[in-house]
A = this chain, B = another copy of it.
C-alpha cells in the first residue's frame, strides 16, 4: 500500500476526528463532496455532523472557528485555496491571532491552506502565503514537505492551543508517496537535516525541499556534498539547526517559493548573519520566486519559481564551482 501526501492529510483528519470529539471540520464543499481536493473524502459519512459545508464566506468561516475555539472545540478550517484566505485575513490576524494574548483563552484552530504553484493554475490559485502569516504575532506556521510530516504535523496542529497556519503544498498532493504513515514524529519547531553534507547548507521548506534534494543529488555526482535542511515550520523557525549546519559547512543558500521581498529567506539569512556571522565562509545567498504574480502558462510558471536548474546554478556559484 502506498500513501500520498494528500492521503496523509485525510488520514490525519480522520484520526483527529476519531481521537477527539472536540475536533470538527468546516469549509466549502468539505462534506459529502469531500472537498475540492478530496482531502476530506468520506469524513462526513464517518463523522456525521462534524464535517460541515460552509457558505462562500471566508471571513465568517474564521470568525466561527474562533467562537467555537473559545467554547473549547478544535476546529479545522479548510480554505479551498490558500489564495482565498486573504478574504479571511482580518479574522485570522486580528481575531484568532490576538485572542490568547489579550484574554488568556487559547485559540486552537487549524487553518489548512492548499498552497503553492502548480502548472496552469495562475495568479489566484498558486500563492504561498507562509511569510505573510509568519510576520504576525500569535500564529504558528507549518510547511510540511513530506508525507510523514503532512500527517504528523497536521495532528500536532490540531493539538496545539494556538491558531496554526498549515500550508499544504498542492504540487505534493499526488507527486509524493510513502509506504506507510509514521508512528513517531519530530517535535514541531525542529528542522530536519534531510540530507547531510559538508560543503554547503541548502535551507528549504515545503515543495522546495525536493528541488533542493534533486540539486544535492546532482552535485553529489560531482563530488560536492550539500546538506539539505527542511525547516518544516517557518514559525517557529529552528535557527539552531540551521546555524549548526552552517557551522559545519560555512556556506548558506536559502530557498523559497514565495515572493522575494521579505519572507522566509530574508528571515533565515538575517538570523544567520546577525547570530552566526562568523560561521560564514562566504556571503549567504537566497533564491525566491520572481517579484510578479504567479503566471498561468507552464513556460512562465517554470521560470517564475526556483527550479533544480536555477538552484544548481546558485549553488555552484556559491561554491565557486
| Complex contact B293–A138 (CB within 8 A) | yes
| A250 at interface, CB cutoff 8 A | no
A35 vs B138: C-alpha distance when bound (angstroms): 32
| A305 at interface, CB cutoff 8 A | no
| Complex contact B274–A285 (CB within 8 A) | yes
| Complex contact A137–B293 (CB within 8 A) | yes
| A98 at interface, CB cutoff 8 A | yes
| A86 at interface, CB cutoff 8 A | yes
Interface bits A260-288 vs B (CB < 8 Å: 1, else 0): 01111111011011110110101111100
| Complex contact A262–B273 (CB within 8 A) | no
A271 to chain B, nearest CB (A): 8
| Complex contact A98–B293 (CB within 8 A) | yes
| Complex contact A269–B261 (CB within 8 A) | no
Knowing A86-B90, A135-B131, A135-B259 are in contact, say whether A283-B274 is a contact too (CB < 8 A): yes
A250 to chain B, nearest CB (A): 12
| Complex contact B83–A86 (CB within 8 A) | no
| Complex contact A262–B262 (CB within 8 A) | yes
| A174 at interface, CB cutoff 8 A | no
A132 vs B133: C-alpha distance when bound (angstroms): 9
| A94 at interface, CB cutoff 8 A | yes
Knowing A101-B293, A135-B132, A137-B292 are in contact, say whether A277-B266 is a contact too (CB < 8 A): no
Which B residues touch A270, using CB under 8 A? 265-266, 269-270, 273, 284, 286
A280 to chain B, nearest CB (A): 7
Interface bits A22-44 vs B (CB < 8 Å: 1, else 0): 00000000000000000000000
A262 vs B265: C-alpha distance when bound (angstroms): 9
Which B residues touch A275, using CB under 8 A? 283
| A71 at interface, CB cutoff 8 A | no
| A102 at interface, CB cutoff 8 A | yes
Query: Which A residues from 84 to 109 make CB contacts under 8 A with B?
Result: 86-87, 89-90, 93-94, 97-98, 101-102
Q: A residues engaging B (CB < 8 A)?
A: 83, 86-87, 89-90, 93-94, 97-98, 101-102, 123-124, 131-132, 134-138, 235, 237, 258-259, 261-267, 269-270, 272-275, 277-278, 280, 282-286, 290-293
The 5 closest A-B pairs by CB, nearest first: A277-B283, A273-B273, A86-B90, A266-B270, A266-B266
